[in-house]
């Protein structure tokens, strides 16, 4: 605890930049952009773990037995990389659905402000 500065602070800054953008965005399409920022901050956090200067990617050269004798602290971690590929794919899929819903909705209602959409569609339910 306490305010020490490490590499992990940068994804947190990005997370809250995205959060601030979500609170203050007036149009729907800017919210989608800031959600992308928040996703990228989470992914970057996973990949920054265990960083040392001079890291090599975890690819073993074909026919080389010397890979495993390399100092394991300087080989990047393959586990978060595989998970983050999945997370990036999920991010694209969700953005695609979001944008197609946005196109249909905003074309039908001719506006794309959050406050105007709220006035149009939030009454009469209760």
Partner 1 sequence: MINILLIFWIISAIFIIREKKIYRMIIFLGIFSLINSAIFLVLGAPDVSLSEAAAGAFTTIFLIICLEKYYGFDESLVVTKKKEKTNFIKALLPIIFSGVLFLLFWYFMPPFTYNSYMKYQYLTYFNQDVGSHNPVTTVYLGYRVYDTLFEALILLVSVVAVKHVSWYSDSYVKDGEHSTIESNPIASYTIRAISPLVLLFGISMISVGLDTPGGGFQGGVVIASFFICRYMIYNVYDIPVKLITLIEKLIFVSIFLIPIFVVFVGLRTLVPETNLVVFQNIYIVLMNSLIGMKVTCGFVILFYRYIVVDRRTC
Partner 2 sequence: MTELLVYFVLTPILIAVFMYLFSHANLGRLLAVLFQFGLVIASFLLFNYVNNSYSSVILNVGDYRGLLGISLGVDYISSLFVLITNFIFLMSTIYSYKEKDNKLFWFLMFVWQAAIVGVFLTRDLFNRFVLMEVGTMIITILIVYRRDNRKMYHSMLFLMINIVAVQFYMFGMGLIYMQTGVLDLYAAAARLSHLDISYLILPYALFMTFVAFKAALIPMSHWMPKALAASGAPSSFSAILAGIHITSGLYMFIRFSYMFNMINARPFFIVVGILTSIFSVIMAISAKNIKIILSYLTLSQIGLIIVAFNIGGIAYTGALFHTANQILFHGALFFAAGIIAHNYKTLNIHEIDGVWSVNKIAAIVTFVGLMGAMGIPFFNGNISMHLMFGYEGVDTQIIAWVINIGIIIASVRYGKIILGTPKEGIKAEKAIEKNIASLIIAFFCVLFGIGGSQIAYYVFNVNINIFSMPFLTNAIILTIVLVLSFIFTGKIKNDKVTNISRDLDVGFKGMVICIGIFFISILITTYLLN
Interface of this chain with partner 2, residues 85 to 124, rule: CB under 8 A: 86-87, 90, 93-94, 97-98, 101-102, 104-105, 108-109, 114-115, 117-118, 120-123
Give yes or no for residue 124 binding partner 1 (CB under 8 A): no
Query: Minimum distance from CB of 54 to partner 2 (Å)?
Result: 21
Residue 78: phi and psi, rounded to 5, are -80, -20
**Options 46, 76, 111, 112; binder of partner 2; rule CB under 8 A:** 46
38 touches partner 2 (CB under 8 A): yes
């Amino acid at each position: 605890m306490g305010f020490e500065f490490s590499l992990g602070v940068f994804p947190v800054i990005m997370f809250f930049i995205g959060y601030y953008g979500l609170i203050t965005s007036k149009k729907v399409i800017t919210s989608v952009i800031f959600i992308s920022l928040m996703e990228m901050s989470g992914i970057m956090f996973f990949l920054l773990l265990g960083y040392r200067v001079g890291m090599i990617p975890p690819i073993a050269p074909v026919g080389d037995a010397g890979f495993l004798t390399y100092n394991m602290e300087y080989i990047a971690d393959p586990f978060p990389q595989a998970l983050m590929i999945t997370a990036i794919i999920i991010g694209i899929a969700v953005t695609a659905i979001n944008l197609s819903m946005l196109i249909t909705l905003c074309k039908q209602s001719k506006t794309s402000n959050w406050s105007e959409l709220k006035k149009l569609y939030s009454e009469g339910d209760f």
